[in-house]
Structure 1
Amino acid sequence: MTAGSAGRPFAGYALFFLTSALMASNVVMGRAAAEAVPPVGLAFWRWMVAFLLVLPAALPDLWRNRQALLADWRRLMVLGALGMGVCGAFVYVGLEHTTATNAGLIYASSPVLILLIAAVVLGERVGPRQIAGIAVAMAGVLAILARGDPDVLLSLSFNAGDVWILAAATAWAVYTVMLRRSQTSLPIVTLFAANALAGVLILAPFYLWETLSGRPVVPSADAALSIVGVAVVASVMAFLAYQKTISLIGPARAGTSLYVMPLWAALLAWVVLGERLQTFHLAGALLILPGVVLATLPTRRA
């Protein structure tokens, strides 16, 4: 074994934790930007800037594959609507009404939602262990939604922000299943650029409506810093780090970075935003994280 190959796992797992932190930064920066940038405007400019940043690298392949992209424009628009539109704007709408800690924990249920949707849409088999994991993880999500108060569950009077985050996590699960179902030979960066552009086009009319309704993006240092932060750190850097992590430790291990994300979200929210952990956060984490692991842990045969 060469020194380079021996160091790959260490570099891979270091990048693994960096990737999860970059992913978690989105909810923290989104919460911090709630008063500086309206939610749809933040999502629109996030993906516009991200698209422009990757365009120089993606442009040759975008042009080379223009016929295939045009032929597949409907699917690309749906992917852009789910992955960049709903997952972008809904998260930022939710963060106007809930904490980054809540958002990180609720979003951690995405692998379980992916499993459920794949079972319904793709007919993938769900075994007893996975069913148990789904039940435990969903109990954790309910603990976060109820904020430790059983009366909230009985009256269904959930915090609106938490519901928006759950809707975004569901959209991300549908987006992931669609990506899994659709085979493509396009390079990863090219597909990222195409999806980002589709997201910009989907968000544009809603951004215009938000602006005309009295919530424009007012140019300021805080607004610019927020947009650049979510575009560069939570989008392009997180994407590149995730792709490099896959190449170093494989997609199965790299995919579990979502399990670590809520821990980073809670830590960053405490340091940056001054958010404090509540008892229901701990109860939710103790249910969601083990439940997700139990539901998504591969079998020996797999």
Structure 2
Amino acid sequence: MRYTDLSLAALAPVIWGSTYVVTTELLPAGHPLGVAMLRALPAGLVLLALVRQLPGRDWLGRLLMLGALNFALFWGLLFVAAYRLPGGLAATLGAIQPLLVLLLSRIALATPVQSAGVIAALTGIAGVGLLILGPNAAIDPLGVAAALAAAASMAAGTVLTRKWQPPVSPLVFTSWQLTAGGLLLLPGALIFEAPLPAPSLANLAGYLWLGIVGAAISYVLWFRGIARLGPATVTAFGFLSPLSAVLLGWLALGQVLSTVQILGAAVVLVSVWLGQRAGGKATMKVNSGVTP
């Protein structure tokens, strides 16, 4: 059962790796909030129509917070970073998220910080750097700030998703959060951005992929993994997202993999293995009542 939980949780960031290719190849540029809103809100409403279960009033405040951290802030900042930075630099900066999750889990969940977890996170950052950070990466200050803030937002959302677990299925919980995030993004997209152009067939394909697969399906798997395995274990899989992005660039766009990138891929896989083992030990200590 644990192997199945790990495999399903790992599939989410593998899917998210396609965001870089889809954003640059299929979506209109210059509309980060609008694109993020179209990724979240339709997916959330479709899931709500399927589950037919609304949250109670006592959950509205927490859902707005989770929708902001996991989707509205995270996706909005992520698209800003994706538009303003090379994908490699954006992903490398975002790789600090597992370190932030370890810290926030210690504060919010009393999860002990395992030295192996810290080593795994640092190893993963190094692996991502080897994998996709080239010598000519352009440094845009706003893009860098957006990438770092996006990592902090999702780290906080990941930890609070575990702390605030309603007595509903991951599918219902995902529908609530996606809808909340999409509704929070809507006014920003309308106020601060020009209207999106009429979509082409390529745009529609990109929106459908990001909404159905990259949002609805992947986040059900992600939130399920957080609930079953804990944030420290699940966040280690985040390094698979840039690895997936590089492999998709190689397969779909004909990009060449260097020896250094292949080494980086191997380091990333080692860090994921170390991270999920360390996270599993920390979670077992908490569940067994062992305090740090």
Q: So what's the TM-score if we normalise by structure 2?
A: 0.75
CA contact (8 A) 1:57 1:189 kept: no
| 1:37 to 1:232, Cα distance in 2 relative to 1, 3 A | farther
**Does 2:189 align with 1:207?**
yes
Letter in 1 for 2:199: S
Which range moves more in the overlay, 130-139 or 88-97?
A: 130-139
CA contact (8 A) 2:158 2:226 kept: no
Consecutive unaligned residues of structure 1, counting only runs of 5 or more, are none
Name which of 219, 223, 231 aligns with 2:203. 223
Which range moves more in the overlay, 186-195 or 162-171?
A: 162-171
**Does 2:60 align with 1:73?**
yes
1:109 Cα offset (Å): 4.4
Name which of 173, 178, 192 aligns with 2:160. 178
Correspondence for 1:39: 32
Q: Trace 1:229-248 onto structure 2 (pairs within 5 A).
A: 229-240=209-220
Consecutive unaligned residues of structure 2, counting only runs of 5 or more, are 285-292
Letter in 1 for 2:212: V
Whole-Å separation in 2 of the counterparts to 1:54 and 1:95: 27
- Report sequence identity in percent: 24
CA contact (8 A) 1:136 1:288 kept: yes
Q: Trace 1:85-234 onto structure 2 (pairs within 5 A).
A: 85-139=72-126, 147-148=134-135, 160-211=142-193, 215-221=194-200, 222-234=202-214
Whole-Å separation in 2 of the counterparts to 1:98 and 1:22: 20
Correspondence for 2:15: 22
| 1:169 to 1:138, Cα distance in 2 relative to 1, 3 A | same
1:108 Cα offset (Å): 4.7
Whole-Å separation in 1 of the counterparts to 2:83 and 2:224: 33
| 1:102 to 1:283, Cα distance in 2 relative to 1, 3 A | farther
Which range moves more in the overlay, 178-187 or 115-124?
A: 115-124
Whole-Å separation in 2 of the counterparts to 1:246 and 1:173: 12
Correspondence for 1:50: 43
Q: Deviations over 1:262-299 (max 9, x none)?
A: 32211112333455556875676566554454345236
Whole-Å separation in 2 of the counterparts to 1:208 and 1:216: 7
Which range moves more in the overlay, 91-100 or 251-260?
A: 251-260
Q: So what's the TM-score if we normalise by structure 1?
A: 0.73
| 1:258 to 1:238, Cα distance in 2 relative to 1, 3 A | same
| 1:264 to 1:131, Cα distance in 2 relative to 1, 3 A | closer
Please state whether the residue corresponding to 2:195 is helix, strand or coil. Answer: coil
1:24 Cα offset (Å): 1.8
| 1:163 to 1:235, Cα distance in 2 relative to 1, 3 A | same
Please state whether the residue corresponding to 2:188 is helix, strand or coil. Answer: helix
1:112 Cα offset (Å): 2.9
CA contact (8 A) 1:101 1:275 kept: no
Whole-Å separation in 2 of the counterparts to 1:15 and 1:124: 23
Whole-Å separation in 2 of the counterparts to 1:257 and 1:131: 14
1:107 Cα offset (Å): 4.1
Please state whether the residue corresponding to 2:76 is helix, strand or coil. Answer: helix
| 1:19 to 1:79, Cα distance in 2 relative to 1, 3 A | closer
Whole-Å separation in 1 of the counterparts to 2:121 and 2:156: 16
1:82 Cα offset (Å): 0.8
Whole-Å separation in 2 of the counterparts to 1:263 and 1:144: 7
1:114 Cα offset (Å): 1.0
Query: Radius of gyration: which is bigger?
Result: 1
1:144 Cα offset (Å): 8.1
Letter in 1 for 2:68: A
1:179 Cα offset (Å): 1.0
Whole-Å separation in 2 of the counterparts to 1:300 and 1:79: 26
CA RMSD of aligned residues (A): 3.9
Whole-Å separation in 1 of the counterparts to 2:191 and 2:263: 40
Whole-Å separation in 2 of the counterparts to 1:17 and 1:195: 20
Please state whether the residue corresponding to 2:17 is helix, strand or coil. Answer: helix
| 1:96 to 1:246, Cα distance in 2 relative to 1, 3 A | closer
1:227 Cα offset (Å): 1.7
